[in-house]
């Protein structure tokens, strides 16, 4: 079933069939209708390989995401995929795995398939990956690049806004000794977030003692360690902001083991708002990063870059907002509690209203 058969059945040339399919306006409506009828009757689906080969555009985007178990990326994948389908694009997926060889193979496959662009959606920098694509003139989209260009599109996440909300939320609840668990030093964003935290604390006149500035590698284990560290302090903080949800969750687990009541003894704020967050007991208050927005910006940027009709320099949005989602893991600090420590029952009740 090829274009030739359709042409023969519709008694036109293959050129007319091609024009009809591609919506060229100069086709006689009568012929076009005839062609469409045959196409539908025969259930003809044009061969995309042939189209890609001759047109030079594959209408495929590569998508590379880490295989982290934290449920942050699946939603991105699906949003990106949906947008692609809606715009008659297809998604070639690959995980960003530890195995450098496999990763390179994946990149190579995408290039062999002549993708019109690649979205590398991860918080870790992937310099070598980006370079591979740049060498082949493939446009790439990444998160938080500090030096985007014509072939390297990017959008920055406005961490400061979310962190400010978190800090001010806690301060408003009467906390003045607020700890921060940053990400691993090798992540550029870790420094950005830490600085943002400092700035936000300073804004409202709160001190940041060195001992309540911790660092973790974004795993639950790291969160657990942070909990242990905080508990061992002479002068404990009454609230803590974690730079990702997984650490916040690990911290909550460990706190529970250490007979620390959350949020009674310690208010906890996470970052990202992964699906787990609202399945915790108590549900985790966290700074949300919109996965849908990231996927949308990534797609639209690549789409614009791939479309020859569009000026390649169009910048869609300047940054991705972050927003605090208040749930059950934060409550009033020592300065505000009137009726003593809140009871477990009280928390359960308060939480009931936020269920799901």
Site of interaction with a second copy (CB under 8 A): 43, 45-50, 52-53, 58, 63, 67, 69, 71, 73-75, 77-78, 81-82, 85-86, 88, 90-95, 97, 102, 105-106, 108-109, 111-114, 135-136, 220-221, 224, 249-250, 252-254, 256-257, 259, 275-276, 279-281, 345, 348-349, 351-352, 355-356
Binder of DNA out of 8, 36, 51, 148 (CB under 7 A) = 51
Piece in contact with DNA (CB under 7 A), picked from 10-18, 63-71, 151-159, 186-194: 10-18
The residue among 56 and 334 lying less far from DNA, judged by its C-beta, is 56
- For residues 130 and 125, give the distance between their C-alpha atoms in angstroms, rounded to a whole number: 9
Binder of DNA out of 37, 53, 233, 315 (CB under 7 A) = 53
The residue among 60 and 242 lying less far from DNA, judged by its C-beta, is 60
The residue among 128 and 315 lying less far from a second copy, judged by its C-beta, is 128
Which of 50, 40, 27 has the alpha carbon at shortest distance from 17?
27
Which of 96, 44, 41 has the alpha carbon at shortest distance from 73?
96
- State the nearest-atom distance from the C-beta of 2 to DNA, in Å: 3
- Total binding residues for DNA by CB under 7 A? 25
Give the CA distances from residue 166 to residues 87, 242, 285, 323, 324, in Å, rounded to whole numbers and listed in that order.
Answer: 37, 10, 9, 9, 6
The residue among 28 and 104 lying less far from DNA, judged by its C-beta, is 28
The residue among 93 and 337 lying less far from a second copy, judged by its C-beta, is 93
Burial 286-313 (b: 16+ CB within 10 A, else e): bbbbbbebbbbbbbbbbbbbbeeeeeee
- State the nearest-atom distance from the C-beta of 254 to a second copy, in Å: 8
Which of a second copy, DNA, none has residue 4 at its interface (CB below 5 to 8 Å by kind)? DNA
- For residues 283 and 306, give the distance between their C-alpha atoms in angstroms, rounded to a whole number: 42
Residues 180 and 213: beta-carbon distance below 8 Å: yes
**Strand (E) or helix (H) holding 213:** strand 213-215
Distance of CA 85 to the CA centre of its chain: 19
314 lies in the binding site for DNA (CB under 7 A): no
- For residues 168 and 8, give the distance between their C-alpha atoms in angstroms, rounded to a whole number: 72
Which of 76, 95, 71, 120 has the alpha carbon at shortest distance from 245?
71
- State the nearest-atom distance from the C-beta of 55 to DNA, in Å: 5
58 lies in the binding site for DNA (CB under 7 A): no
Q: Which residue has the tokens 């496999």?
A: 102
Which of a second copy, DNA, none has residue 31 at its interface (CB below 5 to 8 Å by kind)? DNA
42 lies in the binding site for DNA (CB under 7 A): no
Q: Provide the 8-state DSSP code for 212.
A: G
Task: Please report, as ranges, the residues that interact with DNA according to CB under 7 A.
Answer: 2-4, 11-16, 18-19, 21-22, 26-28, 30-31, 46-47, 50-51, 53-55
């Amino acid at each position: 079933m090829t274009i030739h058969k359709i042409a023969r059945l519709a008694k036109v040339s293959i050129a007319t069939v091609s024009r009809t399919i591609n919506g060229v306006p100069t086709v006689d409506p009568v012929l076009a209708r005839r062609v469409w009828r045959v196409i539908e009757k025969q259930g003809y689906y044009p061969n995309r390989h042939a189209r890609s080969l001759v047109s030079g555009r594959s209408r495929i985007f590569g998508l590379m995401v880490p295989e982290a178990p934290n449920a942050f990326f699946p939603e991105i994948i699906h949003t990106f995929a949906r947008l692609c389908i809606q715009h008659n694009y297809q998604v070639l997926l690959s995980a960003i795995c530890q195995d450098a060889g496999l990763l390179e193979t994946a990149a190579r496959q995408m290039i062999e398939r002549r993708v019109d662009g690649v979205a590398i959606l991860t918080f870790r920098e992937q310099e070598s990956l980006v370079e591979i694509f740049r060498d082949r003139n493939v446009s790439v989209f990444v998160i938080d690049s500090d030096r985007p260009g014509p072939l390297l599109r990017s959008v920055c996440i406005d961490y400061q806004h979310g962190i400010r909300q978190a800090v001010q939320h806690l301060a408003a609840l009467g906390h003045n000794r607020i700890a921060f668990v940053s990400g691993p030093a090798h992540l550029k964003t870790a420094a950005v977030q830490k600085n943002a935290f400092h700035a936000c604390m300073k804004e409202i006149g709160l001190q940041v003692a060195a001992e309540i500035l911790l660092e973790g590698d974004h795993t639950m284990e790291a969160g657990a360690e942070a909990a242990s560290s905080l508990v061992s302090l002479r002068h404990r903080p009454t609230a803590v902001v974690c730079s990702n949800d997984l650490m916040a969750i690990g911290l909550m687990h460990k706190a529970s083991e250490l007979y620390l009541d959350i949020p009674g003894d310690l208010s906890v704020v996470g970052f990202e708002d992964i699906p787990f967050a609202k399945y915790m007991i108590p549900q985790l208050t966290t700074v949300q990063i919109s996965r849908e927005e990231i996927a949308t910006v990534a797609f639209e940027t690549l789409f614009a870059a791939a479309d020859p009709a569009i000026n390649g320099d169009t910048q869609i949005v300047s940054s991705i907002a972050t927003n605090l989602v208040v749930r059950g893991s934060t409550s009033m600090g020592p300065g505000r509690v009137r009726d003593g420590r809140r009871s477990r029952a009280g928390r359960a009740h308060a939480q009931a209203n936020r269920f799901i």
